[in-house]
Amino acid sequence: MDRRQFLGGTIGTSLAIGGLLRLSTTNAAPKSQIQEEYSVISFTDGDIAVNNHLSSLARLYRTFDAQPTNLVISGAIINGELVNSQFLGDYSSLDRLSNLSEKVLLNNSKSATAYIQAAQISGSMHLFDVCKEYLRRSKLLNGNLNEIQQVQMSVLQATARDQQEVLIFREERAQASESPEESIPYAALLADMGQIEKANSIYLQALNYRHKNPSPFIPAWICFQLGMLWGEIAKPSNKDLASSWYAKAISYMPKYTKARLHQAEIYMASGKNDLALKILQPALGSTDPEVSWRISEIYAAKNQPKFSAQYLQLAKTLFTSLLDRYPLAFADHAVEFYVGSGNNPSKAYELALLNYQNRPTGRAANLLQNTKKHL
């Protein structure tokens, strides 16, 4: 089943919550003119960048263990772990973030910044009510209003509430800074509102942003969003264009699990199962259950039931583990699995209902309606 047909579009919460991810663009000079073709800029090798990132994150944890009241360090750790989940498909990052939130609040109970950081973490797990409560406490402690608003807008965008207010906020921030970390959530919102060409233009502008010390995470992220834009949001879709953008994302960041998944799905839809398998196998080291799920489907299509069953069981195990710990964060992703290969329509409906109750968006309503048909 086509992913967009089932989910009613998949820009989803993850892109809005992407507003919580602050990839540094320090020492950068923006290129003012929008180009139809993006410039080729030399970026750090993706695998080297990942290794450097993980080493830096390990050092940050050691520093925080010695300085548990250092909220600059904890803030950097939050960004680092969001990178792990967003790009590497490492969902154990949520366990570490949950533990970090407890430590930050325990050691900084009178700090407004601590509550903002706890709100960021709860928001990344789709615990929106908890997130809003932490922001309320931060306000009572005279927290930084700009930082509070940044998290608030991400939650509003994720839940499709007060979209005009969010649009104004995103546009003002994007125009003021011209940096990718502000323009990407703005373009994502425009795409969600059906302004495809404008979103495309802003993504391309972000891709042309000039960096003195460029990180491949940023262009990989933008290329992935462009793939989503043309492969799953635009009507009609342009799968060939989407595939080219996913390929560029992977070239920047070979360990980009989500990009590999979406590229594989395009290959599978056109019967190119060998290519799909080849693109997915390097992502098996992640903890994203969709990788083993799609590999199971590939082996089923290749009439290799033994291998298909093995990977299907792995997908079930990973989905169960994630849903036990973070049901709201993975409910929408799991619905399609349980309707299809997971063969549990009632569980799919329960998850779709849970997702809708947490964020009653039009997309969540479509998901619930489509799932009900399979009961």
Given a cut of 50, is residue 34 above it in pLDDT? no
pLDDT digits (tens, 9 = 90+) for 85-138: 999 999 999 999 999 999 999 999 999 999 999 999 999 999 999 999 999 999
Residues of the chain with CATH 1.25.40.10: 1-255
* Of 80 and 31, the one with more pLDDT: 80
Region of poorest pLDDT, from 95-109, 209-223, 316-330? 209-223
**Average pLDDT value for the chain:** 89
The pLDDT of residue 21 is 63
pLDDT digits (tens, 9 = 90+) for 272-293: 999 999 999 999 999 999 999 9
Given a cut of 80, is residue 40 above it in pLDDT? no
The pLDDT of residue 22 is 60
Portion of the chain with pLDDT greater than 90, in percent: 81
Match domain 1-255 to its CATH number in 1.25.40.10, 3.40.50.150, 3.40.50.300, 1.10.1060.10.
1.25.40.10
Give, in order, the Cα–Cα distances in Å from 182 to each of 147, 201, 205: 13, 14, 12
**Confidence band, pLDDT 50/70/90 cuts, at residue 14:** very low
Written out in words, the top-level CATH class of the domain with range 256-375 is mainly alpha
